[in-house]
Structure 1
Amino acid sequence: MSASTASPAATTPARAPKVETPWRRFVSEFCESKLALAGLIVFAIIVFIAIFAPWLSPQNPYDLAQLDIMDGRLEPGARDGADTMTYWLGTDDQGRDMLSGIMYGLRISLLVGAGSAIIACAVGASLGLLAAYAGGRTDTVIMRLVDLQLSFPTILAALMILAFLGKGIFNVVIALVIVEWAYYARTVRGTALVERRREYIEAAQCLALPTRRVIFRHLLPNCLPPLIVVATMQIARAIALEATLSFLGLGVPITEPSLGLLISNGYEYMLSGKYWISFYPGIALLITIVSINLVGDQMRDVLNPRLKK
Protein backbone atom coordinates (compact mmCIF):
# COMPACT_ATOMS: atom_id res chain seq x y z
CA MET A 1 0.00 0.00 0.00
CA SER A 2 1.40 3.38 -0.97
CA ALA A 3 1.97 6.10 1.61
CA SER A 4 -0.59 8.35 -0.09
CA THR A 5 -3.42 5.86 0.46
CA ALA A 6 -5.45 6.83 3.52
CA SER A 7 -6.91 4.25 5.84
CA PRO A 8 -10.72 3.97 6.13
CA ALA A 9 -10.55 5.20 9.70
CA ALA A 10 -8.68 8.29 8.65
CA THR A 11 -11.24 9.22 5.99
CA THR A 12 -14.23 8.83 8.33
CA PRO A 13 -15.36 12.29 9.41
CA ALA A 14 -15.47 12.85 13.13
CA ARG A 15 -18.89 13.13 14.67
CA ALA A 16 -19.80 16.56 15.88
CA PRO A 17 -20.40 16.71 19.62
CA LYS A 18 -24.01 16.85 20.68
CA VAL A 19 -25.20 20.33 21.47
CA GLU A 20 -26.64 20.53 24.96
CA THR A 21 -29.97 22.22 24.36
CA PRO A 22 -32.06 23.56 27.27
CA TRP A 23 -34.50 20.69 26.78
CA ARG A 24 -31.75 18.04 26.98
CA ARG A 25 -30.29 19.70 30.04
CA PHE A 26 -33.73 19.79 31.68
CA VAL A 27 -34.37 16.09 30.97
CA SER A 28 -30.89 15.14 32.20
CA GLU A 29 -31.26 17.04 35.46
CA PHE A 30 -34.82 15.84 35.98
CA CYS A 31 -33.80 12.18 35.59
CA GLU A 32 -31.15 12.60 38.28
CA SER A 33 -33.91 12.09 40.85
CA LYS A 34 -35.11 8.49 40.86
CA LEU A 35 -38.11 9.44 42.99
CA ALA A 36 -39.21 12.11 40.51
CA LEU A 37 -38.76 9.68 37.61
CA ALA A 38 -40.81 7.06 39.45
CA GLY A 39 -43.47 9.68 40.18
CA LEU A 40 -43.62 10.64 36.51
CA ILE A 41 -44.01 6.99 35.46
CA VAL A 42 -46.74 6.38 38.04
CA PHE A 43 -48.59 9.53 37.01
CA ALA A 44 -48.35 8.53 33.34
CA ILE A 45 -49.89 5.17 34.21
CA ILE A 46 -52.68 6.88 36.14
CA VAL A 47 -53.43 9.17 33.18
CA PHE A 48 -53.43 6.15 30.84
CA ILE A 49 -55.90 4.30 33.10
CA ALA A 50 -58.12 7.37 33.35
CA ILE A 51 -58.21 7.95 29.59
CA PHE A 52 -58.88 4.32 28.66
CA ALA A 53 -61.13 3.51 31.64
CA PRO A 54 -64.12 2.57 29.41
CA TRP A 55 -62.02 -0.16 27.79
CA LEU A 56 -60.02 -1.26 30.84
CA SER A 57 -62.69 -1.36 33.55
CA PRO A 58 -64.79 -4.52 33.96
CA GLN A 59 -67.93 -2.45 34.57
CA ASN A 60 -69.39 0.94 33.75
CA PRO A 61 -70.10 2.28 37.25
CA TYR A 62 -72.21 5.13 35.84
CA ASP A 63 -74.63 2.75 34.08
CA LEU A 64 -77.39 1.95 36.56
CA ALA A 65 -78.44 -1.03 34.43
CA GLN A 66 -75.13 -2.75 35.27
CA LEU A 67 -75.50 -2.26 39.03
CA ASP A 68 -77.20 -4.75 41.32
CA ILE A 69 -78.02 -3.66 44.85
CA MET A 70 -77.87 -7.33 45.90
CA ASP A 71 -74.13 -7.25 45.19
CA GLY A 72 -73.62 -4.32 47.55
CA ARG A 73 -70.69 -4.30 50.00
CA LEU A 74 -69.12 -7.52 48.74
CA GLU A 75 -65.60 -8.20 49.98
CA PRO A 76 -62.55 -7.97 47.66
CA GLY A 77 -62.26 -11.06 45.48
CA ALA A 78 -65.98 -11.91 45.70
CA ARG A 79 -68.06 -12.82 42.65
CA ASP A 80 -71.44 -11.47 41.63
CA GLY A 81 -74.73 -13.34 42.02
CA ALA A 82 -74.56 -14.76 38.50
CA ASP A 83 -70.97 -15.92 39.10
CA THR A 84 -69.83 -14.15 35.94
CA MET A 85 -67.72 -11.32 37.37
CA THR A 86 -65.09 -11.06 40.08
CA TYR A 87 -64.97 -7.88 42.17
CA TRP A 88 -61.22 -7.70 42.82
CA LEU A 89 -61.54 -4.67 45.12
CA GLY A 90 -65.05 -5.41 46.37
CA THR A 91 -68.19 -3.35 45.83
CA ASP A 92 -69.77 -0.32 47.48
CA ASP A 93 -73.26 -0.06 48.97
CA GLN A 94 -74.84 0.27 45.50
CA GLY A 95 -73.15 -2.83 44.08
CA ARG A 96 -70.65 -0.73 42.10
CA ASP A 97 -67.36 -2.47 41.32
CA MET A 98 -64.72 -0.53 43.26
CA LEU A 99 -62.00 -1.13 40.67
CA SER A 100 -64.21 0.30 37.93
CA GLY A 101 -65.30 3.15 40.20
CA ILE A 102 -61.68 4.09 40.88
CA MET A 103 -60.81 4.05 37.18
CA TYR A 104 -63.73 6.31 36.31
CA GLY A 105 -63.19 8.39 39.44
CA LEU A 106 -59.65 9.12 38.32
CA ARG A 107 -61.08 10.62 35.11
CA ILE A 108 -63.26 13.05 37.06
CA SER A 109 -60.52 13.97 39.53
CA LEU A 110 -57.91 14.57 36.84
CA LEU A 111 -60.37 16.43 34.61
CA VAL A 112 -61.42 18.77 37.41
CA GLY A 113 -57.88 19.23 38.74
CA ALA A 114 -56.15 19.79 35.41
CA GLY A 115 -59.02 21.81 33.93
CA SER A 116 -59.27 24.20 36.86
CA ALA A 117 -55.48 24.57 37.04
CA ILE A 118 -55.20 25.44 33.34
CA ILE A 119 -58.00 28.02 33.46
CA ALA A 120 -56.75 29.52 36.73
CA CYS A 121 -53.23 29.66 35.29
CA ALA A 122 -54.43 31.54 32.22
CA VAL A 123 -56.45 34.03 34.26
CA GLY A 124 -53.90 34.52 37.02
CA ALA A 125 -50.89 34.76 34.70
CA SER A 126 -52.61 37.34 32.49
CA LEU A 127 -53.56 39.50 35.47
CA GLY A 128 -50.11 39.12 37.02
CA LEU A 129 -48.39 40.17 33.78
CA LEU A 130 -50.75 43.11 33.40
CA ALA A 131 -50.14 44.26 36.98
CA ALA A 132 -46.34 44.09 36.62
CA TYR A 133 -46.19 45.72 33.20
CA ALA A 134 -48.77 48.47 33.72
CA GLY A 135 -47.92 49.30 37.32
CA GLY A 136 -49.58 52.21 39.08
CA ARG A 137 -53.28 51.99 39.82
CA THR A 138 -53.74 48.84 37.75
CA ASP A 139 -51.10 47.02 39.80
CA THR A 140 -52.66 48.27 43.04
CA VAL A 141 -56.18 47.13 42.15
CA ILE A 142 -55.11 43.67 40.95
CA MET A 143 -52.83 42.99 43.91
CA ARG A 144 -55.45 44.13 46.42
CA LEU A 145 -57.82 41.61 44.83
CA VAL A 146 -55.08 39.00 45.21
CA ASP A 147 -54.63 39.91 48.88
CA LEU A 148 -58.37 39.73 49.42
CA GLN A 149 -58.57 36.32 47.76
CA LEU A 150 -55.63 34.90 49.71
CA SER A 151 -57.03 36.19 53.01
CA PHE A 152 -59.90 33.67 52.83
CA PRO A 153 -59.27 30.01 53.72
CA THR A 154 -59.34 28.09 50.45
CA ILE A 155 -61.73 25.37 51.52
CA LEU A 156 -64.11 27.89 53.13
CA ALA A 157 -64.18 30.06 49.99
CA ALA A 158 -64.81 27.01 47.78
CA LEU A 159 -67.63 25.82 50.05
CA MET A 160 -69.30 29.24 49.95
CA ILE A 161 -69.10 29.37 46.16
CA LEU A 162 -70.51 25.86 45.71
CA ALA A 163 -73.25 26.54 48.24
CA PHE A 164 -74.34 29.34 45.91
CA LEU A 165 -73.73 27.59 42.55
CA GLY A 166 -74.74 24.07 43.52
CA LYS A 167 -73.24 20.69 42.63
CA GLY A 168 -71.77 19.78 39.26
CA ILE A 169 -68.42 19.29 37.59
CA PHE A 170 -68.59 22.67 35.84
CA ASN A 171 -69.45 24.46 39.08
CA VAL A 172 -66.59 22.74 40.90
CA VAL A 173 -64.18 23.91 38.19
CA ILE A 174 -65.48 27.48 38.52
CA ALA A 175 -65.05 27.37 42.30
CA LEU A 176 -61.50 26.04 42.05
CA VAL A 177 -60.55 28.67 39.46
CA ILE A 178 -61.84 31.43 41.74
CA VAL A 179 -59.84 30.20 44.73
CA GLU A 180 -56.66 29.39 42.75
CA TRP A 181 -56.03 32.24 40.30
CA ALA A 182 -54.44 34.48 42.92
CA TYR A 183 -51.48 32.10 43.43
CA TYR A 184 -50.58 32.33 39.75
CA ALA A 185 -51.05 36.10 39.65
CA ARG A 186 -48.75 36.70 42.61
CA THR A 187 -46.06 34.34 41.28
CA VAL A 188 -46.07 35.79 37.76
CA ARG A 189 -46.12 39.38 38.98
CA GLY A 190 -43.03 38.83 41.14
CA THR A 191 -41.09 37.36 38.22
CA ALA A 192 -42.40 39.89 35.70
CA LEU A 193 -41.34 42.85 37.89
CA VAL A 194 -37.74 41.65 37.58
CA GLU A 195 -37.95 40.86 33.87
CA ARG A 196 -39.55 44.15 32.83
CA ARG A 197 -36.35 45.95 33.82
CA ARG A 198 -34.28 43.88 31.41
CA GLU A 199 -32.78 45.34 28.26
CA TYR A 200 -34.92 43.27 25.89
CA ILE A 201 -38.11 44.81 27.30
CA GLU A 202 -36.67 48.31 26.94
CA ALA A 203 -35.66 47.49 23.36
CA ALA A 204 -39.16 46.24 22.56
CA GLN A 205 -40.65 49.41 24.00
CA CYS A 206 -38.24 51.58 22.00
CA LEU A 207 -39.41 49.80 18.84
CA ALA A 208 -42.98 50.83 19.74
CA LEU A 209 -44.21 47.25 19.67
CA PRO A 210 -47.84 46.70 20.74
CA THR A 211 -48.28 46.16 24.46
CA ARG A 212 -49.94 42.77 23.92
CA ARG A 213 -46.95 41.56 21.91
CA VAL A 214 -44.45 42.79 24.49
CA ILE A 215 -46.32 41.05 27.29
CA PHE A 216 -47.11 37.72 25.66
CA ARG A 217 -44.24 37.35 23.19
CA HIS A 218 -41.36 38.69 25.27
CA LEU A 219 -42.31 38.93 28.94
CA LEU A 220 -44.41 35.79 29.40
CA PRO A 221 -41.85 33.23 28.07
CA ASN A 222 -39.32 34.41 30.66
CA CYS A 223 -41.89 33.94 33.44
CA LEU A 224 -42.70 30.34 32.49
CA PRO A 225 -40.28 28.40 34.78
CA PRO A 226 -41.86 29.47 38.09
CA LEU A 227 -45.31 29.35 36.47
CA ILE A 228 -44.82 25.71 35.43
CA VAL A 229 -43.75 24.77 38.96
CA VAL A 230 -46.76 26.48 40.54
CA ALA A 231 -49.12 24.90 37.99
CA THR A 232 -47.78 21.42 38.76
CA MET A 233 -48.28 21.90 42.48
CA GLN A 234 -51.71 23.45 42.01
CA ILE A 235 -52.95 20.47 39.99
CA ALA A 236 -52.27 18.20 42.96
CA ARG A 237 -53.83 20.78 45.27
CA ALA A 238 -56.92 21.08 43.06
CA ILE A 239 -57.39 17.29 43.00
CA ALA A 240 -57.16 17.16 46.79
CA LEU A 241 -59.53 20.11 47.16
CA GLU A 242 -62.08 18.58 44.77
CA ALA A 243 -61.90 15.33 46.75
CA THR A 244 -62.54 17.28 49.96
CA LEU A 245 -65.53 19.09 48.46
CA SER A 246 -66.99 15.85 47.10
CA PHE A 247 -66.42 14.16 50.46
CA LEU A 248 -68.42 16.93 52.12
CA GLY A 249 -71.23 16.48 49.59
CA LEU A 250 -70.76 19.70 47.60
CA GLY A 251 -68.67 18.41 44.72
CA VAL A 252 -69.54 16.25 41.74
CA PRO A 253 -72.98 14.60 41.48
CA ILE A 254 -73.48 11.13 42.88
CA THR A 255 -74.19 9.73 39.41
CA GLU A 256 -70.59 10.50 38.33
CA PRO A 257 -68.51 9.92 41.45
CA SER A 258 -64.94 11.11 41.79
CA LEU A 259 -62.44 9.62 44.22
CA GLY A 260 -63.58 11.95 46.98
CA LEU A 261 -67.21 10.88 46.62
CA LEU A 262 -66.20 7.21 46.57
CA ILE A 263 -64.36 7.76 49.85
CA SER A 264 -67.39 9.50 51.29
CA ASN A 265 -69.71 6.66 50.26
CA GLY A 266 -67.81 4.16 52.38
CA TYR A 267 -67.02 6.36 55.37
CA GLU A 268 -70.08 5.28 57.37
CA TYR A 269 -69.22 1.60 56.85
CA MET A 270 -65.66 1.83 58.19
CA LEU A 271 -66.64 0.92 61.76
CA SER A 272 -68.60 -2.11 60.56
CA GLY A 273 -65.51 -3.59 58.88
CA LYS A 274 -66.32 -2.61 55.28
CA TYR A 275 -62.99 -0.81 54.97
CA TRP A 276 -62.44 -1.35 51.23
CA ILE A 277 -65.19 1.05 50.14
CA SER A 278 -63.15 4.03 51.36
CA PHE A 279 -59.69 2.51 51.63
CA TYR A 280 -58.93 1.74 47.99
CA PRO A 281 -60.18 5.08 46.56
CA GLY A 282 -58.16 6.79 49.30
CA ILE A 283 -55.03 4.89 48.27
CA ALA A 284 -55.62 5.84 44.61
CA LEU A 285 -56.04 9.51 45.60
CA LEU A 286 -52.89 9.38 47.74
CA ILE A 287 -50.79 7.81 44.98
CA THR A 288 -52.03 10.39 42.45
CA ILE A 289 -51.22 13.39 44.64
CA VAL A 290 -47.84 12.04 45.79
CA SER A 291 -46.75 11.26 42.21
CA ILE A 292 -47.63 14.80 41.07
CA ASN A 293 -45.83 16.33 44.06
CA LEU A 294 -42.69 14.30 43.37
CA VAL A 295 -42.64 15.59 39.81
CA GLY A 296 -43.34 19.15 40.95
CA ASP A 297 -40.57 19.12 43.58
CA GLN A 298 -37.97 18.03 41.05
CA MET A 299 -39.17 20.53 38.47
CA ARG A 300 -38.82 23.26 41.08
CA ASP A 301 -35.23 22.21 41.77
CA VAL A 302 -34.34 21.99 38.08
CA LEU A 303 -35.98 25.24 37.01
CA ASN A 304 -34.61 27.21 39.96
CA PRO A 305 -30.82 26.65 40.06
CA ARG A 306 -30.47 28.83 43.17
CA LEU A 307 -32.10 26.04 45.24
CA LYS A 308 -29.11 23.80 44.49
CA LYS A 309 -26.60 26.17 46.02
Structure 2
Amino acid sequence: MAAKHESLFWQAVQEYFESRTATIGLILLVIIVGVALLAPVISPQNPYDLMAIDIMDGKLPPGSKSMDSSITYTLGTDSQGRDMFSSILYGLRISLGVGVVSTIIALVIGSVIGLWAAYKGGKIDSFIMRTVDLQLSFPAILVALILLAILGKGIDKIVLALVMVQWAYYARAIRSNVLVERHKEYVEAARCLALPQRRIMFGHVLPNCTPELIVISTVKVAGAIALEATLSFLGLGMPITQPSLGLLIANGFKYLQSGYYWISFYPGVALLVLIVCINLVGDRLRDVLNPRLKR
Protein backbone atom coordinates (compact mmCIF):
# COMPACT_ATOMS: atom_id res chain seq x y z
CA MET A 1 0.00 0.00 0.00
CA ALA A 2 2.84 2.39 0.89
CA ALA A 3 4.55 1.63 -2.43
CA LYS A 4 1.30 2.37 -4.27
CA HIS A 5 0.91 5.75 -2.54
CA GLU A 6 4.54 6.62 -3.28
CA SER A 7 4.04 5.74 -6.94
CA LEU A 8 0.93 7.93 -7.14
CA PHE A 9 2.82 10.77 -5.49
CA TRP A 10 5.68 10.71 -7.99
CA GLN A 11 3.19 10.37 -10.83
CA ALA A 12 1.43 13.54 -9.61
CA VAL A 13 4.78 15.35 -9.32
CA GLN A 14 5.72 14.34 -12.86
CA GLU A 15 2.34 15.46 -14.18
CA TYR A 16 2.68 18.81 -12.43
CA PHE A 17 6.00 19.60 -14.12
CA GLU A 18 4.53 18.81 -17.54
CA SER A 19 3.15 22.36 -17.49
CA ARG A 20 5.89 24.87 -18.25
CA THR A 21 3.86 27.79 -16.90
CA ALA A 22 3.15 26.04 -13.60
CA THR A 23 6.81 25.04 -13.31
CA ILE A 24 7.96 28.64 -13.78
CA GLY A 25 5.38 29.78 -11.24
CA LEU A 26 6.61 27.22 -8.69
CA ILE A 27 10.27 28.17 -9.22
CA LEU A 28 9.49 31.87 -8.80
CA LEU A 29 7.40 31.15 -5.71
CA VAL A 30 10.23 29.15 -4.13
CA ILE A 31 12.64 32.01 -4.86
CA ILE A 32 10.26 34.58 -3.38
CA VAL A 33 9.72 32.52 -0.22
CA GLY A 34 13.47 31.95 0.06
CA VAL A 35 14.44 35.61 -0.19
CA ALA A 36 11.63 36.55 2.22
CA LEU A 37 12.88 34.09 4.83
CA LEU A 38 16.47 35.26 4.35
CA ALA A 39 15.56 38.96 4.38
CA PRO A 40 17.63 39.77 7.50
CA VAL A 41 20.66 38.18 5.86
CA ILE A 42 20.50 39.48 2.29
CA SER A 43 18.92 42.91 2.88
CA PRO A 44 21.46 45.74 2.63
CA GLN A 45 19.55 47.61 5.34
CA ASN A 46 17.18 46.86 8.20
CA PRO A 47 14.26 49.21 7.40
CA TYR A 48 12.99 48.91 10.99
CA ASP A 49 16.24 50.08 12.56
CA LEU A 50 16.03 53.84 13.08
CA MET A 51 19.80 54.03 13.48
CA ALA A 52 20.31 52.49 10.03
CA ILE A 53 18.20 54.95 8.05
CA ASP A 54 18.86 58.59 7.20
CA ILE A 55 16.04 60.97 6.28
CA MET A 56 18.52 62.85 4.09
CA ASP A 57 18.41 59.82 1.78
CA GLY A 58 14.65 60.20 1.34
CA LYS A 59 13.05 59.70 -2.08
CA LEU A 60 16.28 58.88 -3.90
CA PRO A 61 15.72 57.33 -7.36
CA PRO A 62 16.76 53.73 -8.17
CA GLY A 63 20.52 53.24 -8.44
CA SER A 64 21.40 56.14 -6.13
CA LYS A 65 24.01 55.93 -3.38
CA SER A 66 23.53 56.92 0.22
CA MET A 67 24.96 60.16 1.55
CA ASP A 68 27.97 58.33 2.97
CA SER A 69 28.20 56.07 -0.16
CA SER A 70 27.99 52.92 1.96
CA ILE A 71 24.80 51.60 0.32
CA THR A 72 23.57 51.58 -3.26
CA TYR A 73 19.80 51.85 -3.33
CA THR A 74 18.98 49.51 -6.20
CA LEU A 75 15.25 50.30 -6.11
CA GLY A 76 15.55 53.75 -4.57
CA THR A 77 14.31 54.90 -1.18
CA ASP A 78 11.01 56.00 0.32
CA SER A 79 10.22 59.32 1.97
CA GLN A 80 11.92 58.22 5.20
CA GLY A 81 15.15 57.18 3.51
CA ARG A 82 14.52 53.44 3.79
CA ASP A 83 15.93 51.19 1.09
CA MET A 84 13.00 49.98 -1.03
CA PHE A 85 14.64 46.65 -1.83
CA SER A 86 15.06 45.88 1.88
CA SER A 87 11.54 47.10 2.65
CA ILE A 88 10.07 44.83 -0.03
CA LEU A 89 11.91 41.78 1.32
CA TYR A 90 10.66 42.45 4.85
CA GLY A 91 7.20 43.25 3.48
CA LEU A 92 7.15 39.90 1.69
CA ARG A 93 7.81 38.14 5.00
CA ILE A 94 4.84 39.81 6.65
CA SER A 95 2.46 39.35 3.70
CA LEU A 96 3.39 35.68 3.30
CA GLY A 97 3.26 35.05 7.03
CA VAL A 98 -0.18 36.60 7.44
CA GLY A 99 -1.55 34.79 4.38
CA VAL A 100 -0.19 31.35 5.28
CA VAL A 101 -0.94 31.45 9.02
CA SER A 102 -4.50 32.74 8.58
CA THR A 103 -5.19 30.14 5.88
CA ILE A 104 -3.89 27.25 7.99
CA ILE A 105 -5.96 28.28 11.03
CA ALA A 106 -9.07 28.82 8.91
CA LEU A 107 -8.48 25.47 7.18
CA VAL A 108 -8.33 23.59 10.49
CA ILE A 109 -11.37 25.32 11.98
CA GLY A 110 -13.46 25.12 8.82
CA SER A 111 -12.56 21.48 8.15
CA VAL A 112 -13.48 20.36 11.65
CA ILE A 113 -16.80 22.25 11.58
CA GLY A 114 -17.71 21.08 8.07
CA LEU A 115 -16.74 17.49 8.80
CA TRP A 116 -18.78 17.44 11.98
CA ALA A 117 -21.81 19.04 10.30
CA ALA A 118 -21.84 16.58 7.40
CA TYR A 119 -21.31 13.53 9.58
CA LYS A 120 -23.91 14.50 12.17
CA GLY A 121 -26.53 15.82 9.75
CA GLY A 122 -29.96 16.90 10.93
CA LYS A 123 -30.45 20.14 12.85
CA ILE A 124 -26.73 20.56 13.57
CA ASP A 125 -25.89 20.43 9.88
CA SER A 126 -28.75 22.77 9.00
CA PHE A 127 -27.74 25.35 11.64
CA ILE A 128 -24.06 25.33 10.65
CA MET A 129 -24.79 25.61 6.93
CA ARG A 130 -27.23 28.49 7.46
CA THR A 131 -24.50 30.26 9.43
CA VAL A 132 -22.06 29.61 6.57
CA ASP A 133 -24.56 30.87 4.01
CA LEU A 134 -25.16 34.01 6.06
CA GLN A 135 -21.45 34.83 6.24
CA LEU A 136 -20.80 34.06 2.58
CA SER A 137 -23.64 36.35 1.57
CA PHE A 138 -21.53 39.34 2.66
CA PRO A 139 -18.41 40.45 0.74
CA ALA A 140 -15.24 39.24 2.45
CA ILE A 141 -13.69 42.69 2.51
CA LEU A 142 -16.78 44.16 4.20
CA VAL A 143 -16.64 41.56 6.99
CA ALA A 144 -12.90 42.14 7.43
CA LEU A 145 -13.36 45.93 7.53
CA ILE A 146 -15.99 45.65 10.26
CA LEU A 147 -13.85 43.29 12.33
CA LEU A 148 -10.73 45.45 12.05
CA ALA A 149 -12.71 48.57 12.87
CA ILE A 150 -13.65 46.83 16.14
CA LEU A 151 -10.35 45.06 16.87
CA GLY A 152 -7.92 47.74 15.68
CA LYS A 153 -4.57 47.40 13.92
CA GLY A 154 -1.98 44.67 14.50
CA ILE A 155 -0.70 41.50 12.90
CA ASP A 156 -2.68 39.34 15.34
CA LYS A 157 -5.84 41.34 14.66
CA ILE A 158 -5.62 41.00 10.91
CA VAL A 159 -4.88 37.26 11.16
CA LEU A 160 -8.01 36.85 13.29
CA ALA A 161 -10.05 38.88 10.80
CA LEU A 162 -8.82 36.79 7.86
CA VAL A 163 -9.60 33.56 9.73
CA MET A 164 -13.14 34.76 10.39
CA VAL A 165 -13.53 35.58 6.71
CA GLN A 166 -12.11 32.30 5.36
CA TRP A 167 -13.32 29.48 7.61
CA ALA A 168 -16.77 29.31 5.98
CA TYR A 169 -15.27 28.42 2.57
CA TYR A 170 -13.54 25.37 4.02
CA ALA A 171 -16.57 24.33 6.03
CA ARG A 172 -18.75 24.27 2.92
CA ALA A 173 -16.09 22.52 0.82
CA ILE A 174 -15.38 19.76 3.33
CA ARG A 175 -19.08 19.22 3.99
CA SER A 176 -19.86 18.65 0.32
CA ASN A 177 -17.03 16.13 0.08
CA VAL A 178 -17.98 14.30 3.25
CA LEU A 179 -21.59 13.94 2.09
CA VAL A 180 -20.23 11.98 -0.86
CA GLU A 181 -17.68 9.96 1.09
CA ARG A 182 -19.85 8.98 4.07
CA HIS A 183 -21.96 6.54 2.02
CA LYS A 184 -19.05 4.73 0.38
CA GLU A 185 -18.08 1.15 1.12
CA TYR A 186 -15.01 1.85 3.22
CA VAL A 187 -17.03 3.98 5.65
CA GLU A 188 -19.72 1.30 5.92
CA ALA A 189 -17.00 -1.29 6.56
CA ALA A 190 -15.51 0.86 9.32
CA ARG A 191 -18.93 1.15 10.94
CA CYS A 192 -19.42 -2.59 10.77
CA LEU A 193 -16.11 -2.99 12.59
CA ALA A 194 -17.50 -0.72 15.32
CA LEU A 195 -14.67 1.77 14.98
CA PRO A 196 -15.04 4.96 17.02
CA GLN A 197 -16.82 7.77 15.22
CA ARG A 198 -13.85 10.13 15.68
CA ARG A 199 -11.53 7.63 14.05
CA ILE A 200 -13.87 7.18 11.10
CA MET A 201 -14.19 10.91 10.61
CA PHE A 202 -10.54 11.91 10.96
CA GLY A 203 -8.80 8.68 10.03
CA HIS A 204 -10.84 7.54 7.03
CA VAL A 205 -13.11 10.29 5.67
CA LEU A 206 -10.91 13.37 6.08
CA PRO A 207 -7.83 11.96 4.25
CA ASN A 208 -9.96 11.33 1.17
CA CYS A 209 -10.98 15.01 1.15
CA THR A 210 -7.38 16.23 1.44
CA PRO A 211 -6.67 16.79 -2.30
CA GLU A 212 -9.44 19.33 -2.71
CA LEU A 213 -8.51 21.04 0.55
CA ILE A 214 -4.94 21.45 -0.71
CA VAL A 215 -6.15 23.09 -3.89
CA ILE A 216 -8.58 25.41 -2.10
CA SER A 217 -6.08 26.44 0.57
CA THR A 218 -3.41 27.21 -2.04
CA VAL A 219 -5.72 29.59 -3.87
CA LYS A 220 -7.00 31.06 -0.61
CA VAL A 221 -3.46 31.96 0.47
CA ALA A 222 -3.28 34.27 -2.54
CA GLY A 223 -6.70 35.66 -1.68
CA ALA A 224 -5.68 36.28 1.94
CA ILE A 225 -2.52 38.09 0.85
CA ALA A 226 -4.50 40.27 -1.57
CA LEU A 227 -7.15 41.02 1.07
CA GLU A 228 -4.52 41.93 3.66
CA ALA A 229 -2.81 44.22 1.14
CA THR A 230 -6.15 45.92 0.41
CA LEU A 231 -6.90 46.42 4.09
CA SER A 232 -3.40 47.76 4.76
CA PHE A 233 -3.70 50.10 1.79
CA LEU A 234 -6.92 51.46 3.29
CA GLY A 235 -5.14 52.01 6.60
CA LEU A 236 -6.93 49.27 8.57
CA GLY A 237 -4.39 46.46 8.33
CA MET A 238 -0.80 46.40 9.43
CA PRO A 239 0.63 49.16 11.67
CA ILE A 240 3.26 51.50 10.27
CA THR A 241 5.96 49.73 12.30
CA GLN A 242 5.30 46.42 10.49
CA PRO A 243 4.73 47.38 6.84
CA SER A 244 3.45 44.69 4.52
CA LEU A 245 3.45 45.07 0.74
CA GLY A 246 0.04 46.72 0.84
CA LEU A 247 1.20 49.31 3.35
CA LEU A 248 4.35 49.98 1.31
CA ILE A 249 2.16 50.70 -1.71
CA ALA A 250 -0.02 53.02 0.38
CA ASN A 251 3.03 54.88 1.71
CA GLY A 252 4.16 55.77 -1.80
CA PHE A 253 0.76 56.32 -3.38
CA LYS A 254 0.63 60.01 -2.43
CA TYR A 255 3.97 60.59 -4.15
CA LEU A 256 2.97 59.16 -7.53
CA GLN A 257 1.91 62.48 -9.01
CA SER A 258 5.18 64.03 -7.83
CA GLY A 259 7.19 61.61 -9.96
CA TYR A 260 8.41 59.31 -7.18
CA TYR A 261 6.85 56.26 -8.82
CA TRP A 262 9.27 53.69 -7.41
CA ILE A 263 7.96 54.00 -3.85
CA SER A 264 4.67 52.36 -4.86
CA PHE A 265 5.58 50.70 -8.15
CA TYR A 266 8.11 48.12 -6.98
CA PRO A 267 6.08 46.87 -3.97
CA GLY A 268 3.10 46.62 -6.33
CA VAL A 269 5.12 44.52 -8.79
CA ALA A 270 6.29 42.25 -5.94
CA LEU A 271 2.70 41.77 -4.73
CA LEU A 272 1.47 41.06 -8.26
CA VAL A 273 4.18 38.48 -8.96
CA LEU A 274 3.59 36.77 -5.62
CA ILE A 275 -0.16 36.41 -6.12
CA VAL A 276 0.18 35.29 -9.76
CA CYS A 277 2.73 32.61 -8.83
CA ILE A 278 0.53 31.23 -6.04
CA ASN A 279 -2.48 31.13 -8.37
CA LEU A 280 -0.47 29.35 -11.08
CA VAL A 281 0.60 26.70 -8.58
CA GLY A 282 -2.96 26.36 -7.27
CA ASP A 283 -4.46 25.99 -10.76
CA ARG A 284 -1.99 23.27 -11.66
CA LEU A 285 -2.57 21.43 -8.39
CA ARG A 286 -6.28 21.47 -9.17
CA ASP A 287 -5.65 19.88 -12.57
CA VAL A 288 -3.34 17.24 -11.10
CA LEU A 289 -5.31 16.33 -7.98
CA ASN A 290 -8.75 16.53 -9.59
CA PRO A 291 -8.50 15.60 -13.30
CA ARG A 292 -12.25 16.08 -13.75
CA LEU A 293 -11.70 19.85 -13.47
CA LYS A 294 -8.85 19.93 -15.98
CA ARG A 295 -9.46 22.48 -18.77
Output the TM-score relative to the length of structure 2: 0.97
Distance 1:53 1:29 in 2: 33
Q: What are the within-5 Å matches in structure 2 for residues 11-22 of structure 1?
A: 21-22=7-8
SS at match of 1:132: helix
Distance 1:143 1:115 in 2: 25
> 1:152 is matched with which residue?
138
Q: Which residue of 277, 282, 291 maps to 1:296?
A: 282
SS at match of 2:256: coil
Shift of residue 19, structure 1, vs aligned partner: 9.8
Q: Which residue of 261, 265, 271 maps to 1:275?
A: 261
Q: What are the within-5 Å matches in structure 2 for residues 65-104 of structure 1?
A: 65-104=51-90
Matched, 1:238 2:238: no
> 1:187 is matched with which residue?
173
| Percent of residue pairs bearing the same amino acid type | 64
Q: What are the within-5 Å matches in structure 2 for residues 130-145 of structure 1?
A: 130-145=116-131
> 1:62 is matched with which residue?
48
Matched to 1:263, the amino acid is I
> 1:50 is matched with which residue?
36
Distance 2:49 2:225 in 1: 24
Question: 1:211-248: CA deviations, max 9, x gaps?
Answer: 11111100000001111100000000000001001101
Shift of residue 20, structure 1, vs aligned partner: 7.4
SS at match of 2:257: coil
Q: Which residue of 92, 108, 114 maps to 2:94?
A: 108
> 1:6 is matched with which residue?
none
SS at match of 2:59: coil
SS at match of 1:65: coil
Shift of residue 69, structure 1, vs aligned partner: 1.1
Matched to 1:23, the amino acid is F
RMSD: 1.3
Q: Which residue of 4, 12, 21 maps to 1:35?
A: 21
Question: 1:244-299: CA deviations, max 9, x gaps?
Answer: 01101111110110000000000000011100000000000000000000000001
> 1:227 is matched with which residue?
213
Output the TM-score relative to the length of structure 1: 0.93
Shift of residue 308, structure 1, vs aligned partner: 3.6
Unpaired runs of at least 5, structure 1? 1-17
Distance 2:8 2:115 in 1: 24
Matched to 1:69, the amino acid is I
Unpaired runs of at least 5, structure 2? none
SS at match of 1:212: helix
Distance 1:178 1:167 in 2: 16
Shift of residue 202, structure 1, vs aligned partner: 1.0
Matched to 1:158, the amino acid is A
Distance 2:215 2:286 in 1: 6
Distance 1:267 1:130 in 2: 46
